[in-house]
Amino acid sequence: MTNLTQKEKFLLQDQKSHEELCIKKYNNHANQAKDPQLKQLFLSHAQQEQQHLDTINQILSGQVPTMNQSNQQNMQNTQNQFNTPNNMSHESDKDLCTDLLATEKYVSSTYDTSIFEFKDHNIRQALNHIQKEEQEHGESIFKYMEANGMYNLQ
């Protein structure tokens, strides 16, 4: 059981609201996605965002969570499925991806700031783990967009 400072509680409440928004966005965007592959990617991310929310709630209740490393293998499998372009991509799918990529960039940056404000090393590690997964979500969206001609690097 850990005692959180007022600042730590405020930061966690912010992260909690961010995770709730991510869950809503991923589920809503999955319902709107035209490409079944993209729909599955969004649903997978929504599940991980729910795990993030559960972790934040654990910390808010005074518990220090233990981190599950199995999600890293799932993310690698997800990223590898976008090596060939998908002809089913639509402009609306591009908009959904762009929105979620911007969301992930923002959420990752808020975790970065929050991590530095926590005194408990294990909580820092838990938040760092979540931030890493947020970055992986962004990477998988980027790779999907790149494979489908939705993200021009030039």
Mean pLDDT of 2-20: 96
Predicted local confidence at residue 117, as pLDDT: 95
Closest CA to 14 of 47, 55, 56: 56
Domain at 6-77+97-147, CATH from 1.20.1260.10, 1.10.10.10, 3.40.1480.10, 2.60.120.700: 1.20.1260.10
Predicted local confidence at residue 85, as pLDDT: 46
Predicted local confidence at residue 65, as pLDDT: 80
Report the Cα–Cα distance between both ends of the chain, in Å, rounded. Answer: 51
Predicted local confidence at residue 66, as pLDDT: 74
The pTM assigned to this predicted structure is 0.85
38-53: per-residue pLDDT in tens? 999 999 999 999 999 9
Confidence of residue 81 (pLDDT cuts 50, 70, 90): low
Question: DSSP letter at 62?
Answer: T
